[in-house]
Amino acid sequence: MTDAAPLTLFNSLTRQPERFQPVHPGEARVYSCGPTVYNYPHIGNMRAYVFADILGRTLTWKGYTLTHVINITDVGHLTDDADAGEDKLEKAAAERAQSIWDIARHYTEAYWADIAALNIRQPAQWTIATDYVPAMIEFAKSIADRHCYELESGLYFDVSTVADYGRLARAATDDEGEGRIDPVEGKRHAADFAIWRKTPPGETRQMEWDSPWGRGAPGWHLECSVMSGKVLGFPFDIHTGGIDHREIHHPNEIAQNQAFCCTNGLDVPANSGARIWMHNNFLVERSGKMSKSSGEFLRLQLLIDKGYHPLAYRMMCLQAHYRSELEFSWEGLGAALTRLKRLLAAARNAIEGVSDGATLAETAEAVTHPKMAPLLEKFDAALADDLNTPVALTVLEEALAAKKVDAAQKSALVGAMMFALGLALPEREALRLRPKGATITEAEIEVAMERRKAARAGKDFATSDAIRDELAARGVEVMDGDPLGWEWKLEA
Does position 299 interact with ligand AMP (CB under 6 A)? The reply is no
Q: Which of these ranges, 224-232, 278-286, 388-396, 450-458, lies near ligand AMP under the rule CB under 6 A?
A: 278-286
Q: Which of Zn ion, ligand AMP, none is residue 76 near (CB under 5 to 8 Å by kind)?
A: none
Closest CB to ligand AMP among 283 and 336?
283
Half-sphere exposure of 138 (CA within 13 A, CB side): 8
How distant is the alpha carbon of residue 165 from its chain centre?
27
Shortest distance in whole angstroms from residue 248 CB to ligand AMP: 11
Cα torsion for 421, 422, 427, 431, to the nearest 10°?
Answer: -90
Beta pairing partners, 197 = 154, 217
Q: Please, which of residues 300-319 interact with Zn ion by CB under 5 A?
A: none
Closest CB to ligand AMP among 47 and 198?
47
CB 440 within 8 A of CB 476: yes
Closest CB to Zn ion among 224 and 254?
224
Shortest distance in whole angstroms from residue 241 CB to ligand AMP: 4
Amino acid code (one letter) for 208? E
d(CA 237, CA 175): 32
Number of chain residues interacting with ligand AMP (CB under 6 A): 15
Closest CB to Zn ion among 250 and 489?
250
Does position 245 interact with ligand AMP (CB under 6 A)? The reply is yes
Pairing of strands 8-11, 16-19: antiparallel
Closest CB to ligand AMP among 154 and 241?
241
Shortest distance in whole angstroms from residue 101 CB to ligand AMP: 18
Does position 224 interact with Zn ion (CB under 5 A)? The reply is yes
d(CA 324, CA 71): 25
Closest CB to ligand AMP among 240 and 263?
240
CB 488 within 8 A of CB 445: yes
Q: Please, which of residues 9-48 interact with Zn ion by CB under 5 A?
A: 33
Q: Which of Zn ion, ligand AMP, none is residue 224 near (CB under 5 to 8 Å by kind)?
A: Zn ion
Shortest distance in whole angstroms from residue 249 CB to Zn ion: 6
CA terminus-to-terminus distance, the chain: 46
Closest CB to ligand AMP among 42 and 62?
42
CB 77 within 8 A of CB 249: no
CB 421 within 8 A of CB 318: yes
* Out of 86, 175, 244, 470, the residue judged to bind ligand AMP by CB under 6 A: 244
Is the torsion defined by CA of 262, 264, 269, 272 positive or negative? positive
d(CA 443, CA 428): 17
Assign 3-state DSSP to the chain and report helix, strand, coil percentages, each to 5. 45, 15, 40
- At residue 341, φ and ψ (nearest 5 deg) are -60, -45
Q: Reduced to 3 states, what is the DSSP secondary structure of residue 88?
A: helix
d(CA 81, CA 242): 13
Q: Which of these ranges, 221-229, 349-357, 369-377, 461-469, lies near Zn ion under the rule CB under 5 A?
A: 221-229
Q: How far lies 425's CA from each of 28, 38, 53, 132, 350, in Å?
A: 27, 31, 16, 37, 10
* Out of 216, 242, 273, 415, the residue judged to bind ligand AMP by CB under 6 A: 242
Does position 47 interact with ligand AMP (CB under 6 A)? The reply is yes
Q: Which of these ranges, 28-36, 149-157, 337-345, 429-437, lies near ligand AMP under the rule CB under 6 A?
A: 28-36
Shortest distance in whole angstroms from residue 249 CB to ligand AMP: 8
Does position 251 interact with ligand AMP (CB under 6 A)? The reply is no
d(CA 445, CA 430): 16
How distant is the alpha carbon of residue 171 from its chain centre?
23
Q: Which of these ranges, 190-198, 240-248, 257-265, 472-480, lies near ligand AMP under the rule CB under 6 A?
A: 240-248
* Out of 133, 194, 248, 283, the residue judged to bind ligand AMP by CB under 6 A: 283
* Out of 7, 10, 12, 44, the residue judged to bind ligand AMP by CB under 6 A: 44
User: What is the contact surface with ligand AMP in residues (CB under 6 A)?
Assistant: 33, 35-36, 44-45, 47-48, 241-242, 244-245, 280, 282-283, 290
User: What is the contact surface with Zn ion in residues (CB under 5 A)?
Assistant: 33, 224
